[in-house]
Amino acid sequence: MKQQICILGSTGSIGTQALDVIRQHSDLYEVYCLTAHNRVEQLAAQAHEFKPASVVIANETHYERLKELLADAPDIKVYAGASALEQIVEAAPIDMVLTAMVGYAGLAPTIRAIKARKKICLANKETLVVAGELITKLAIEYHAPILPVDSEHSAIFQCLVGEDMNEIEKILLTCSGGPFRQFTADQLATVTAADALKHPTWDMGAKITIDSASLMNKGFEVMEAKWLFGVPADKIQVLIHPQSIVHSAVQFADGGVKAQLGVPDMRLPIQYAFSFPRRLRLDGPRLDLFGQPLAFFKPDLTKFKCLALAYEALDKGGNMPCILNAANEVVNAAFREGRCGFLGMADIIEQTMLRTTFEAAPDYDTYVRTDAEARRIATELL
């Protein structure tokens, strides 16, 4: 029988590439549900092509428009709102949930999917950034496998297959460095969102592209790696690798290093999460190792303070990563709208971390309170 897939965030970069994987393997996978936040026209077009059992538009103001667009497809149930998003992942036919939503909004539906014992294909890194300890406990309690979709974490996961009993000495987490890798501090002070959105190797959504430019995205990935692979932060090393060919590597106790290489194509980690432990054929370009040299550099934590703040939040623990994430979502949006400078993002995040109530042993309700408080403080600081 075909595996039934629910895609949270089907109109974004990860969601659209996941649908391409499903197109290539329509004999194995079928879309059960598609969701989006605002892109109602695109969601309707996807629904017409893939004919899911249901669609959800998170922004309720678009509900009537979506109903109108799908009037000629009466078999597709149409829902709206955050609660519908959380409930749909529990549907009995669903085998796996691809969490491709961006930001804190992905936390609640991911928790519901875990409690429904669904296989989680995790592309929403903020879920583990905000509530890594809670999520890992729930995954164990409900026997819900979590397979990483981020290219770096998929690479680490692939390197660890067959290495269950072997000690990890270090995780080598690669990073393109973004468009400003060689900029001076003075140059960084004047960059714009348009400059930051010109990522050198990856095609991603606007929020993640800005996070990549500030290296906050890499800080989030350090946190994600800690929870996915049970490795402390001091054993996770970030390497600037402009070519984005080595997606990450693992160094073992004997000094041996295993790396996963490939062209920058997110369909590969998406498909691997769907098909694990099988490797299916994927159409697309192949890696040419003769094409360019591979280079690695240390990140500059003074120029790119967001990465340093992420390590600090991880070291502090408790609800501090939740504070970091909430403040970052506020300043990221402000930078894109021209209300905050590039270097100012890190300053506001740091001040928010100092001013928001710290709790060492948070539960889910704590995360909800913390997120709201940190957003308010960051907004005031703007």
Range of the structural domain that residue 292 is part of? 153-316
Q: Which residues contact 118 (CB under 8 A, 6 or more apart)?
A: 6, 89, 94, 95, 96, 97, 144
**Closest Cα to residue 259, out of 160, 354, 139?**
160
Pick out the residues of the known binding site.
11-14, 124-126, 150-152, 176, 199, 205, 212, 217-218, 221
59 in any annotated domain = yes
**What's 34's domain CATH number?**
3.40.50.720
The pLDDT value recorded for residue 179 is: 92
Asked whether residue 121 falls in the same domain as residue 250, the answer is: no
343 in any annotated domain = no
The pLDDT value recorded for residue 239 is: 97
Among 117, 148, 179, identify where a domain stops: 148
Asked whether residue 141 falls in the same domain as residue 157, the answer is: no
Pick out the residues of the known binding site for 1-deoxy-D-xylulose 5-phosphate.
125, 151-152, 176, 199, 212, 217-218, 221
Angle at 277 between CA 14 and CA 239, to 5 degrees: 55
Asked whether residue 124 falls in the same domain as residue 186, the answer is: no
Pick out the residues of the known binding site for Mn(2+).
150, 152, 221
Tens-binned pLDDT, residue by residue, of the chain (382 aa):
999 999 999 999 999 999 999 999 999 999 999 999 999 999 999 999 999 999 999 999 999 999 999 999 999 999 999 999 999 999 999 999 999 998 899 999 999 999 999 999 999 999 999 999 999 999 999 999 999 999 999 999 999 999 989 999 999 999 999 999 999 999 999 999 999 988 766 667 789 999 999 999 999 999 999 999 999 999 999 999 999 999 999 999 999 999 999 999 999 999 999 999 999 999 999 999 998 899 999 999 999 999 999 999 999 999 999 999 999 999 999 999 999 999 999 999 999 999 999 999 999 999 999 999 999 999 999 9
Asked whether residue 228 falls in the same domain as residue 312, the answer is: yes
Q: How far apart are CA 378 and CA 382, in angstroms?
A: 6
Among 104, 129, 148, identify where a domain stops: 148
Asked whether residue 54 falls in the same domain as residue 191, the answer is: no
Among 148, 183, 210, identify where a domain stops: 148
81 in any annotated domain = yes
H helix intervals, 62-106:
63-69, 82-88
342 in any annotated domain = no
Asked whether residue 189 falls in the same domain as residue 208, the answer is: yes
Asked whether residue 258 falls in the same domain as residue 185, the answer is: yes
Asked whether residue 162 falls in the same domain as residue 121, the answer is: no
The pLDDT value recorded for residue 204 is: 73
Take residue 269 and report the two structure tokens written for it: 């980690």
The pLDDT value recorded for residue 291 is: 86
Asked whether residue 82 falls in the same domain as residue 219, the answer is: no
356 in any annotated domain = no
3-state secondary structure of 260: strand
Asked whether residue 249 falls in the same domain as residue 305, the answer is: yes
Which uninterrupted H or E stretch holds 354?
A: helix 342-355
The pLDDT value recorded for residue 292 is: 84
The pLDDT value recorded for residue 198 is: 81
The radius of gyration computed from the CA coordinates of the chain, to the nearest angstrom, equals 20
Secondary structure of the chain: what % helix, strand, coil (to 5)?
A: 50, 15, 35
Asked whether residue 60 falls in the same domain as residue 141, the answer is: yes
234 in any annotated domain = yes
pTM of the model: 0.94
Beta-sheet strand order (sheet of 257-261): 236-240, 168-175, 246-252, 257-261
329 in any annotated domain = no
Is-contact 57 33, C-beta < 8 A? no
Q: How far apart are CA 223 and CA 226, in angstroms?
A: 5
361 in any annotated domain = no
Asked whether residue 22 falls in the same domain as residue 90, the answer is: yes
Pick out the residues of the known binding site for NADPH.
11-14, 124, 126, 205
- As for how many domains the chain has, the answer is 2
Q: How far apart are CA 97 and CA 115, in angstroms?
A: 12
The pLDDT value recorded for residue 219 is: 97
**Closest Cα to residue 292, out of 322, 257, 266, 264?**
264
